[in-house]
Structure formats: C-alpha cells, structure tokens
Amino acid sequence: MIALVAACGRKPPPAPVPARPATASKPSTTPARQQGAVNIRGDDALADVLSWSLPEVVIERPERTRAEARRALAKGDLFETGHSAIPLLMALRKLEPDNKDDAAQLDRARAALLAQANIALEASADPASLRYAQRMGTVLRTLWPQLAEVQDFLGKVDRAERAFDLVAEGYRLLRAGQLDTLNGALAKFRAAQALWPQQVGGGQGIAAVEAVLVARAQSRAWAGDFDGAYVTLARAQHVRGDAQVMAVARARIEATRVEFLRKLGDAGMMALADPAGLQFARERLAEMLRVARPGDRAPVALRERIDLVSHYGAFRPREVSSDEMKDGGRGPSLVVLPYGSFLMGAATNEPDASADEQPQHRVDFARGFAMTRHEVTVDEFRRFVQATGYRTRATQRGHSMIYDVRSGNFARVSGVDWRSGYDGQPAAGNMPVVHVTAWDAEAYAAWLTEQTGAHYRLPSEAEFEYGLRAGGQGRFPWGDGPPPPMVDNFAGSKDVSPRGLRWNNAAVGYGDGWWGPAPVGSFERNAFGLYDMDGNVSEWVADCWHKGYRRAPSNGAAWANPGCRTRMYRGGSWASAPEQARSAWRVAGGVDNTNGRVGFRLVRQL
C-alpha cells in the first residue's frame, strides 16, 4: 500500500479529461501539474482514489441549489458528488458570477476542505489516512492550484509520501539484514522520522533495528561469544540510546553468562564422576576461564575439584555427614552412596511397565557420591529464601496446584507457594518442601554450593534410581511382593482422608497412617541409608524428558539438553498408586510446574 500511494504528486501526467458539468468553468490554462493530476505507481485500481474531476451539476432553481449547498457545507460533504457543496457552489458561480454570497460560501467550502485535508494529513500514520489526504489534495490542486495555502499543503503531502517511501525501504533493508550501515535501514527510518514526524513508522522502524541488534547480542551470548555480544550491544546503544533497554539487555547477557558458567561447571563436575572424564572436565574449565570475567570465582570450584579428582578423600560408603556453612550452621544431612553399577529401567516382562522405562540398561558409577538423606524440608528451604530474598515461581505467579480436601481433587489455588503444604495450608518446618519448580531446586543447590564450598546439584535420573533401588533389582524397592508394613508413604487401601475419602487405586491391605506427606524421615531408611525415596513426595531430577533410554548415558550423568522445558521427576508420592511406586516408574513435567506432590533432594559431589 505504501508503494502504491507514495508517488502521489511526484510527476505530473497529462491533465485528466473533464466531466461534462452543465455549469462547469472553462478549462484551466495552468500547467498539467496544476490540473489536479496524480501520478499512480503500481496498482491502477487506486486511480479513482487519487484523481478527481468536477461532478456534473444541473441547476433548475438557483435558490434551491444554494440551500442544498449550504446543507452540504454544514454536514462537511464537500466534493465527492454532484450534491456536495463545492460542485454546487462552482455551478452557481458559473451561473451567476457576481453573486457575492455564492463567492463567500465557496471560500468557506475551500477553507473547510483545507481544514479537513490538514487534519487527515496530520493523522496520516498509516497509508489509508495518507490516501485520504492525497485525494483532498487532488481536489485542491484541480480547483485552486495557485493559492499559497494549497501549495503549502501539497508540499506537506509530498513530504509525507516520501516518508512512507523511506519507511518501506527501511523495512526492506531490515529484512535483508542491513541494519545500521551507512545507507541501511536505520538511516532510512531516521530520514523518514525527520521528514514527517507524524508518520509513526519511522520511530517504529528505529525501535525494530534496536530490537534486532539486542536479539543478535543475546544470541551471541547464548553461543558463548560474550565479547561479540557486547560489541553488538554497543551498536544497539547508538540506535536510540535507551538506557533502560540497554540495562535490561546487559542484565540478560550477564544472566546468560552466569547460566553458561553454571552449566559448564555442572558438566565438568559430573564428568569427574568418571575417571575418563578428567580431560572433558579440563576442557570445560578452559571454556569457563575464557568466558568468566576477571576475578569471577565461578571456575574455582571446578578447578579445585579437578585437582582432587584422583582422591576419594576421607569419605566412606554409607557415611553420614553434613557440610559446614558460612553462616555457622550445617547443611542438609548426607549419606555417601558407594560406587558400583546397576540395571536401570524396567525389564521387558515387568507388569505395568511402559516403553518409556525401557530398554533396561547397565549404568556404571566409577565414583561414589553423597545424597541428602531425605527430601529438602520447608525449614531448610526457608533458610535459603531468608538469606537470599529468592522468590520461587509459585510466589511470583501467586498460585499452585493443591489437593482440595473437600472435593478430593487437585485444584489450582491462589496464595500458595513453598510455605504451603499439599493442601495449601501452612506447612510445618519438618515437612518436605513442595510447590517448587526444578529451577527453584537448582537455585537452592547453587546457594548451598556457595555456602559450603562443596558442589550441590539435583541428582541425575540414574543416580536417583540407583539410590531408590539401593542394591535391589525387584519390581519395587522392597522386592516383587506386597509392601511390608510402614515401608513408605504412598496410597494404601487403609488410608483415609480428613473427609473420610479412600483411594480408588491403592496398595491392597496397606496403610501408612498419612493422607498427604509425612514429616521427613518418618519411615524406615533403605539399604543405602536414604529416607522417603519411594514415597512422601516425588522429586525433581536433572534430566530432560526423553522417550525411553536408547542412547541414554551409561555413566550415570544427567541426560540433559540445553534449554529443555520438560524435566523428569522420580519416586512415588503420598498419592501414588502401586504401579507408580515401582522402582522404574518415571514421569515428566514442565520445568516450572508446581504442585503439592513434588519436592526434591540433592546430590553432593565428592
């Protein structure tokens, strides 16, 4: 549309053939440019819009015609038809040239047309408004080409047309990637804005150039090219100099740097669980040192761990310990799991197994690792929030999924976050923290790492199942038969809700005395010294969702993809049916999902 209207009035074509009005004036002897001709470029369908000739008027009774002209003028109907004010008054002037009242009315009509035209032109933020102004300009040029105010208006129309041309060219260059070069998109948009400030396309185009450059800077940061990101961001700063936009962009680049370093550090740390991963960890450290700013301590933990990788330290399998924190307290209670191997996943003939749990495959742990003995509690998470001011996802959005005690269904409820229990009521400090996302769990792990100097993270899916099985290979952690008494907190047929409800699909004859989570450590620990691995709450792990285990890591590392939005959680919960209490059971959830059934525990790298 811009291309079609942009050339209006640029190059005068031959004068249009006049209509045959009964009282039309003699043909003008002014040059073609002054005859109201409009140069159409592109679609000739706009010719009717951008050209005009005086409509035919037949006068039978002059007084009636004068009355009609006054009514048309009062309504603002100025030129489009033979019943409009200007054609009527022009016909009257032809009929009675000396009539001063007709002359005065025609002057009023011309002034009204100029006023309408200027209003349309001032509002010409889009091609349709400009086209309307051009059409009125055509009328003015046809009838009063020599008037100074008409010439002034036509000059403004020409500037508006050129501004639309410049904006169209700017967007073409923008699409071609020519952003802030000498004659690139930015130069075109600025020229359009200077030529016709009312045309918002110039300002919008300038903002678009800035946005593209900011996006390119962020893309370079995601690729690990932080020097290049800031070079590109400096180009963006010269576009508008918007301090707030630049501050947000710099903050995002630095957040990307922190995340980039964290992932490199996690990858290096997890690689050190395998002696063959030492070179890989060193490569990750070199990449961290390239990316980190001078004085950044992010690579320090990995560098120190690489130096100590050949030592197991003073730890022993199944040893219970906790790390000292900077604030003088102690971290969560840990137990050291021995290195070894196990068969991960479900056997081909396992009842209730799905293809997502197969194929069963061997996973080898070349080194032991420590895992928190129970799920992270509300009090432990509160300590982190109070120390850092961290706001969880549920806190930010103001709601989470709870178990509605009255209806027996899960429902989204406002005002629920990590401080709440499974039912939305305030949670006791020794209860497992729920209503947290995988990202919230990783934020807690990062804080614990900073506090203790040890490396904490979410367990991999393989590490969790290894700890859950605790050396067994049965269908359930306790074996293949019915659950022994008080083995863990999951759905049993003897369990009763506060409203007298019972589970429809539960372990027959089993009851643990809890409807909802229990305080951590309320049940027997397993052979590795871990509590609540198959009940209480399901737990986030570090892996992204993959359908089945083909090509899964065999060294116990997390199977993660950069930026994945669907993560795994493992282990049964207080509301799990028997098939969900199986050792191989796995399920995926959105990385920022929260509800009253999912919490987490951590692994500490040794």
pLDDT at 14: 36
Could you tell me the pLDDT band of residue 8, with boundaries at 50, 70 and 90? Answer: very low
* Residue appearing with tokens 């740097």: 257
Residues 179 and 32 in one domain: no
**Packing angle of the helix pair 438-452, 378-388 (nearest 10 deg):** 70
pLDDT at 9: 36
Burial of 97 (0-12, 13-18, 19+ CB in 10 A): exposed
Give a yes or no: residue 439 inside a domain: yes
Nearest to 569 by CA among 554, 556, 585: 585
Give a yes or no: residue 576 inside a domain: yes
**Residue 192 one-letter amino acid:** A
**What is the C-alpha R_g of the chain?**
39
Residue 222 to residues 142, 228, 299, 563: CA-CA distances in angstroms? 60, 11, 18, 10
The tally of domains found in the chain comes to 3
Contacts of 197 (CB under 8 A, 6+ apart): none
Instruction: State how far the Cα of 208 lies from the Cα of 217, in Å rounded to an integer.
Output: 14
Residues 91 and 208 in one domain: no
Q: Tell me: pLDDT of 125 over 80.
A: no
Find the domain containing 44 and state its range: 2-146
Nearest to 467 by CA among 523, 526, 541: 526
Q: Tell me: pLDDT of 20 over 70.
A: no
Residue 406 to residues 409, 434, 497, 575: CA-CA distances in angstroms? 8, 20, 10, 16
Give a yes or no: residue 270 inside a domain: no
Q: Tell me: pLDDT of 245 over 80.
A: yes
Residues 89 and 236 in one domain: no
Residues 122 and 197 in one domain: no
Give a yes or no: residue 71 inside a domain: yes
Residues 127 and 66 in one domain: yes
pTM of the model: 0.55
Q: What is the pLDDT of residues 388-406, one digit of tens each?
A: 999 999 999 999 999 998 8
Give a yes or no: residue 385 inside a domain: no
Residues 481 and 597 in one domain: yes
Mean pLDDT of the 447-469 span: 97
Q: Tell me: pLDDT of 10 over 50.
A: no
pLDDT at 124: 61
Residues 10 and 142 in one domain: yes
Q: Tell me: pLDDT of 184 over 90.
A: yes
pLDDT at 47: 59
Instruction: State how far the Cα of 388 lies from the Cα of 383, in Å rounded to an integer.
Output: 9
Maximum pairwise Cα distance, the chain: 117
What stretches of 415-500 adopt beta strand conformation (E)?
A: 456-457
The DSSP symbol for 586 reads E
